[in-house]
Every structure is written in structure tokens, then in C-alpha cells.
Amino acid sequence: MATITLPSGSASQRVPAGRRIDWGQPFVYLVALICIGITVVPIAYVILGGFRTTGQLAAKPNGLPDPWVLDNYAAVLSSPSFWTQVGNSTIAALVTTIGVVLLGVMAAFVIARYEFRGRGTIYTLFTAGLLFPLSVAILPLYLLLQNLGLLGSIIGVIIPQIAFALPTTIVILVPFLRAIPEELEDAASIDGSSRVGFFWRILLPLSSPGLVTVGVLAFVGSWNGYLLPLLVLNDPAAYTLPLGVQAFSTQYSQNTALVLAFTSLAMLPALIFFTLAERRIVGGLSGAVKG
Amino acid sequence: MSSNQFVRHTDNDQSGLPAGRASARPAPGRAEVLPYAPIDRDAAGAGHKRRNRLRGRAEIALFAGPALVVYLLFVMVPVGLAGYYGFFKWNGIGPLTDFVGLDNYVRALSDPVFIGAIGHNFFFVIASLLVQGPIAIGIALLLNRPMRGRSFFRVLVFVPYVLSEVIAGVAWLLLLQPNGPFDALLTSLGLGDAVQLWLGDPTIVLWTMLAVISWKYIGFAIILFLAGLQGVPEELAEAAQIDGASWWQIQRHITIPLLGPTIRIWAFLSIIGSLQLFDLVWIMTGGGPANATSTMATYMINFGFTRSQYGYGSAVAVILFIISFAIAIVYQRFVLRRDTEGALTRRVG
């Protein structure tokens, strides 16, 4: 009976709720527009600036492109080094993401669903990693990579990135995997599935929202990574996009418009990716925050 | 799959059922038709249990092993080595012979530039909390209301957070350069007198950096708060509304308190992030001018890499870690402990 009365009750409440929001709406839009102005105008400036010439920029820093110039974007898009950097960033981010998600979900599975001595220690070990920023470990890590012969190679960026992304990944995934009901595991067991079979066939598909979230975080983290590539990659041919942007902006500091075009194109992949994954990020973080 | 056993079940399930006795066989179902009786029921059960425990151990090692190895080798070992190198005067080449004890630590803590860097980190900690927190809560509350184009707004507000530090840094360098677009904007608004050397004046630059940092990271706070708001039940707000509470009263007395755990976790992440600040500062000012924006991390990279003082840089890294760790412990103990729902405090072990 309660289930019948509740919805009708809340439906009648929604009417005044709607009316109340109406008068506040213009204010809400105003504030939202101001916020968006502050966040977006600098980015819009960079993108639009790429359509101007350096002469236009110097003469009228705040003007719109007049006329619109496509040369800067064309120059960047036809430069092989830009595409090399896009390729390097893509490889690094993809391999890092796959590695983090795979290793992370396997470890999180053990922490979430196995009973054994030392489980608490392992979990604490990983959560402690949240407090170890890359900068604390970077000097010895650099020497370690040097000894392993990984300096200058993209693998030397990927492996530490995986290692440093594991704590976040595991902290987010453990509650996810633990939330999957025991009954499912029991049912799988009765149907003749082993624990490993349960992991592959039931747990992984069910926890895919969490996996996507940590995957997105790992991808964005790798794509935007700066300190590690800065130290590990010394050959411009191996540069990732952030290093490329910095090198380009220094090299062509006199040609502001070209730098703006390069920067715009470098930010584009992250923007597209984020727009597509925004819901996942918010959803995944809410899972992590609420436990 | 060759086996149908779960460790958890067989551990509880060895009351002498036929299946339990046939543990040595790959197909337990056949146990009942075996012609001979088991020798010792208990021993058979124990063997079964042991086999499954071994199997469980193997699974644990197989699943958690790779992550643990990578993590230990590339995170824990370097962190430990940083603690070790910190006791040596060492340029990173050749054997570690020049043991200097705590000299590096004494040197760092008596260097006014490093003390200044710690001060800048704490400036960013406090100022980021005070600037980003209230604004982000306000925006999240607004964006949580039903409105047209909400998801569009959400994406746009998060954009700076998605951009890499390098891109944001380079973009702001261009925007803030002398006679650049920002100055032109101020002039066209009639505020030409306010124009400064935004990144060149040591008395201004810290505030400039605070503005850029807030611009860059506020999206993360908003994402977190919006996520937290999804967990705030609407029924409470609706009930309060029926009782005549205004929108602001509902936010003030119901929504924001219920958002408390999220706010406290965000504050934690923000504090740690501000203590470890590196990328944006390194790109935009390199810690300058005249060390006015140096942070512990830029100081460390400056000495460790640029000047090849690996021992000294390591000691600085350890100080950076100890400060972060101490604050994290205190925060965990006195603030996050209140949140039984906190992701960082709950379900450990």
C-alpha cells in the first residue's frame, strides 16, 4: 500500500517545486553563464587566436579573427612532429589504461572478495600510495629507469604511470567489486563456475561502470602527464603532446598565433574524450565517494 | 572449468559429505560410487581444505601479484630509496659514499628559499580551500537544479580540469603576457590602471598563480560535489519544502550538511594536491621570479635534476612527503573520522 501512496504524494509535491524554481531561474542562468564565461573564454581565445595572424594579435589583442586565417592550423596539421606526438601520447595513454585497469581490477578482486591473512596489509599498502606523489619518488625512479635502460623510451613512461595510477584505481574499484552481492557468487558456484570463472564472466561485466571510470582517469592522467615524460623522454621524436606543446611554444615564441593553433589542436582530443566520458566520470566518482 | 569449488564454501562444508571425501579426484561427483571406503574422514577433509587453500593462494598470487610487483618496484622502492639517498651527498653518478647524516635536512630547513617554498605551498593550501570550496559548492548546487541545458553547462565548467597542465599553463602565459589580451581586456573595460606584470612582479605573481590554479582545478571540486549531490535524497528537500523552507534554507540546513563527507574528502585531496603542486608552476614561472612562486616540488626538481644534487633533492622529497603524510594523518584522525561513509576511511582490510 505504501508503494501506491508514495508516488502520488511526491507527484503532488513536484508542482510547487516546479513553480518555486521558476522565479529563481534567470538568476541561476546568469550565474551559470558567468561561470562558463570564466572557464571557457580563455579557451575560446586560444582556439580563435589560432585563426588570426600574429600581426592581428599584436594590433588588437582582443579582436575576433578578421579575416579568418587557416594557415596556422594547416601548418600544424601538416607537420609530421605534431602527428608523431599525437601518436606517442595515444600509445602511452592506451597501454597505460589497459595496464592499470587489468592489474587494478585483478588486485581489487582479491582485496574485495578473498579472505586471507595480509589482505588488510595489501589494501593499506595501496591506499598509502595515494600519499606518494610522483615528485617524491622521481629522483630514484629516474635512476632506476636509467639502470633498466628505459630512459628515452615510451615504456619508461608507461610502467611508472601504471604503478602510480594503481592506488586510485584500487581504492575506487574495491567498493565496486565488494558491492556485487554474495548471492551471485553462490549461484555461480552452484552452477559449477570456479572463482576465476566468476571473476571473468560475472564480476567484470557487472563492474564495468567502475572499470570505465578508472580507465578514463588513467587515460586522462597519462594524456596530460608532464613530469615523467619531461624527465624520461629526451628525444623530440619520442615526445608526448604536453612536451610537444611546451617545446613548440618555446621554439615559436615569436609566432603567437601558430602557438595558439598548436595548443588548440593539442587540447582537442582531451576535450572530445571528456565530453563523451563526462557522465562516466561523475558516476564513477560518486561510487567512489559514497563507498 | 575443471573445478567447481569455491574456497569459501569448501571451508565451511566438510561435514563428511561424500563430495568432501573425494577431494583428491578431479571429478568430485563420482565420490559416491567409489567402491572403497575412505580411510580417514577427517584427514580427507583436511586434505581437501588444504588443496583448496593452495588453490586460493595461487589465485591470490596470480591476481594480486602483477599489480603488487609493479607497484612495489616502481612506487615503494623509489620512495624508500629517496629516504636512503637523502642521507648522502651525491650527484647521481658513482657509488654512494659521502654519507652526511642529516646534513641535507638541516641545509634544506635552514635555506630561506626552501622555507619560502613551504610557505607558498601552505598559501596555496589555504587559499585554494577558501576560494574553490565556496564557489564550487555554489556552482554545484546551482547545476544540480533542474534547468535547461544543464549537462551542457556541466561539461563546459569541467573543461579546464580536463586540459593538461602544460596546455593550461601555456595558454595562460600567452593570455597574461605584458600587453597581452588580458591587459587589453582590462583596458577596454576602463580598468587600465589595474594592469600589472602578472607573472613578472614578485608581489603579484603568487595571486596570479592562485587564480590560474583555481581556474584549473575548480572543475574537479564541482565534479565531486555534483557526484555527492546525487547521493542526497530528494525526499528530505521535498519534505522541508512542504514545511515552508526556502530554497536557501534547504541548501543551508539539509543539502550542504549531507554533502559534508564529500566536501571533507575534496578538501583532503585539495590539500594534498596543493602541497605537491608542480606542473603549472614549473611551466608558468619555474618558481620565479626571485623564487616568489617556488614550491617544495619545484625546489626539489630544481636541485635534484637541474643541479644534479640527488642526495639533497631526495632529502627535500622526503620532507615534502613527511609534511603531506603528517597532514594526512591529522586530517584522517580529526576530520575524516567523522565520516563513516568516507571512501578513504572505510573498508580498510
pTM: 0.80
- In this structure, the number of other CB atoms found within 10 A of the CB of residue B190 comes to 8
Domain assignment present for B121: yes
Q: Specify the pLDDT at position B150.
A: 76
For chain A, give the mean pLDDT. Answer: 82
- Domain layout of chain A by residue ranges: 81-240+266-288
Tell me the DSSP string of chain A: -HHHHHHHHHHHHHHHHHHHHHHHHHHHHHHHHHHHHHHHHHHHHHHHHTTS-HHHHHH-TTPPPSS---HHHHHHHT-HHHHHHHHHHHHHHHHHHHHHHHHHHHHHHHHHH---TTHHHHHHHHHHGGG--HHHHHHHHHHHHHHTT-TTSTHHHHHHHHHHHHHHHHHHHHHHHHTS-HHHHHHHHHTT--HHHHIIIIIHHHTHHHHHHHHHHHHHHHHH--HHHHHH--SGGG--HHHHHHHHHHHTTT-HHHHHHHHHHHHHHHHHHHHHHHHHHHHHHHHHHH-
Q: Specify the pLDDT at position B89.
A: 92
Contact between chains at A267 and B164 (C-beta distance less than 8 A) = yes
Nearest-angstrom CA–CA distance, A219 and A213:
10
Nearest-angstrom CA–CA distance, B74 and B53:
30
Domain assignment present for B90: no
Residue A284 has pLDDT above 60, yes or no: no
Pick B155's closest partner by Cβ from A193, A196, A278.
Answer: A278
Contact between chains at A256 and B226 (C-beta distance less than 8 A) = no
Contact between chains at B235 and A10 (C-beta distance less than 8 A) = yes
Q: Specify the pLDDT at position A268.
A: 86
Number of domains in chain B: 1
Closest residue by Cα to residue A207 from A144, A146, A280, A148:
A280
Q: Per residue in B194-219, pLDDT tens?
A: 888 889 889 999 999 999 999 999 98
| Rounded average pLDDT over A213-223 | 86
Residue A247 has pLDDT above 50, yes or no: yes
Q: Per residue in A133-150, pLDDT tens?
A: 888 889 999 999 999 999
Q: Which residues are bridge partners to B23 per DSSP?
A: none
Interface test with A, best of B142, B161, B164 (most A CBs within 10 A): B164
Interface test with A, best of B13, B71, B81, B208 (most A CBs within 10 A): B71
Q: Specify the pLDDT at position B46.
A: 62
Determine contact, residues A17/B241, Cβ cutoff 8 Å. yes
Residue B283 has pLDDT above 90, yes or no: yes
| Rounded average pLDDT over B241-266 | 85
Phi, psi of B88 (to 5 degrees): -120, 150
Domain assignment present for B267: yes
Q: Per residue in B235-252, pLDDT tens?
A: 888 888 888 888 788 888
Domain assignment present for B330: no
Query: Which of B42-56, B264-278, B322-336 is predicted with the least confidence, judged by mean pLDDT?
Result: B42-56
Residue B284 Cα, gap to closest chain A Cα (Å): 10
Domain assignment present for B137: yes
Determine contact, residues B240/B254, Cβ cutoff 8 Å. yes
Q: Please give the residue range of the domain that contains residue B291.
A: 111-165+197-307
Domain assignment present for B9: no
Q: How confident is the model at residue B47 (pLDDT cuts 50, 70, 90)?
A: low
What cell was used for B262?
564529500
Pick A164's closest partner by Cβ from B75, B158, B265.
Answer: B75
Domain assignment present for B182: no
Contact between chains at A116 and B223 (C-beta distance less than 8 A) = no
Q: Specify the pLDDT at position B162.
A: 83
Question: Which CATH number applies to A81-240+266-288?
Answer: 1.10.3720.10
Pick A109's closest partner by Cβ from B63, B74, B158.
Answer: B63
User: Using a CB-CB distance cutoff of 8 angstroms, which residues of chain A are in contact with residue B171?
Assistant: 42-43, 45-46, 263
Contact between chains at A245 and B166 (C-beta distance less than 8 A) = yes
Domain assignment present for B1: no
| Rg of chain B on CA atoms, in Å | 29
Residue B14 Cα, gap to closest chain A Cα (Å): 16
Q: Specify the pLDDT at position A163.
A: 95
Q: How confident is the model at residue A283 (pLDDT cuts 50, 70, 90)?
A: low
For chain B, give the mean pLDDT. Answer: 80
Q: Per residue in B109-150, pLDDT tens?
A: 999 999 999 999 999 999 999 999 999 998 888 888 777 777
How much of chain B exceeds pLDDT 90, in percent? 37
Identify the closest residue of chain B to A142 by CA–CA distance.
Answer: B78
**Beta-carbon contacts below 8 Å between A and B:** 329
Q: Per residue in A11-33, pLDDT tens?
A: 444 444 444 445 567 777 888 88
User: Using a CB-CB distance cutoff of 8 angstroms, which residues of chain B are in contact with residue A116?
Assistant: 56-57, 60
Q: How confident is the model at residue B344 (pLDDT cuts 50, 70, 90)?
A: very low
Q: What is the CATH number of the domain that holds B214?
A: 1.10.3720.10
Nearest-angstrom CA–CA distance, A54 and A259:
10
CA dihedral B81, B87, B91, B97 (to 10 degrees): -100
Q: How confident is the model at residue B339 (pLDDT cuts 50, 70, 90)?
A: low
